[in-house]
Structure 1
Amino acid sequence: MAKSEHRPEASIPFHRTEIRVPLFEVDLGKAVYHGNYFHLLELAREDFLRCLGYPYRVFMEQQLHLTIVELSCAYRKALHYDDLVEIHSGVGWWRSRSLAFEQQIYRLNDSGDAQLCTNATLNMVCVRFDGRPSVLPADFVGLLQQWAGKGPSG
């Protein structure tokens, strides 16, 4: 771990977002098309930022954007139309200009059990609208530091 990198202590605290899989995400095979998982993950990241107290529009008002520079995704179980899913979103690490979102998608069943369907890690860099890298806003980093001290969420 680089000195300038921050990792939350112990396990990552996760924010949870519930979404019901909409019909437009499903292909003719009656499952969510693999590329459409990223729509669900994006909705959950936006929800995470909103609950953190730093909605994405605040980045945009500062002419900043978090752009994905690397991602990995493991598909374990297919999602289907009308599945109720819970997406766990957290930040695994951050540096002055970049961060990594860790996300998992769980299918919830009627008994309340959760089945892991997808794991994803998205490395993102903060850039200005002109495309040049920028440091993460200090107030955003402060909120991340507060959030990281909470421990796993329930």
Structure 2
Amino acid sequence: MRAQAGAEIFTHRCRVYYEDTDAGGIVYYVNYLKFMERARTERLRSLGFAQSQLAGEDLLFVVHSVEARYRAPARLDDELLVTAEVVEVNRASLRFRQQVRRALDDVLLCEGQVLVACVRAESLKPRAIPEALRVAFAGSGLSPAGE
């Protein structure tokens, strides 16, 4: 499935804490991936799927690959807006387009794409995304493949 134009993009708000920064008070680069992870988790939760519930159903989402571009630094106490837009749903994976912006001035700080694979919790082998989850993403602005 591919995303439809004009679909609402999920946004998660968070704040930069001291633990997120380096000695200069600038967000350490890997922490942008943590902010993105939180936004993806909250996106699932907003659709009615908690990670803990999914794990109990022998389902985990694991990061397969990440592409990130760093544009400007976030600093201590900045409030961030982190998007999690599903742009593709495949049989056993989801592709997210994500951005991290500073809330104060809407400056783009980091952007990227994350491919997450659906796997069995016990074996870590790929498994199909459950139909209920596929339907939830379809209701959030995705169209069937090929459209």
TM-score, structure 2 normalization: 0.91
CA contact (8 A) 2:18 2:25 kept: no
1:31 partnered with 2:26: yes
CA apart distance, 1:9: 1.5
Aligned to 2:132: 139
Question: Counterparts in 2 of 1:5-20, with a 5 A limit?
Answer: 6-20=1-15
* Separation in structure 2 between the aligned mates of residue 10 and residue 139 of structure 1, nearest angstrom: 23
1:90 partnered with 2:82: no
CA apart distance, 1:58: 2.4
CA apart distance, 1:22: 1.2
RMSD (Å) for aligned C-alpha atoms: 1.5
Aligned to 1:152: none
1:125 partnered with 2:120: no
Given residue 140 of structure 1, which amino acid in structure 2 is its aligned partner?
A: L
Secondary structure of the structure 1 residue equivalent to 2:139: helix
CA apart distance, 1:11: 4.2
Aligned to 2:145: none
* Separation in structure 2 between the aligned mates of residue 100 and residue 140 of structure 1, nearest angstrom: 14
- Which consecutive residues of structure 1, in runs of 5 or more, have no partner in the other structure? 1-5, 150-154
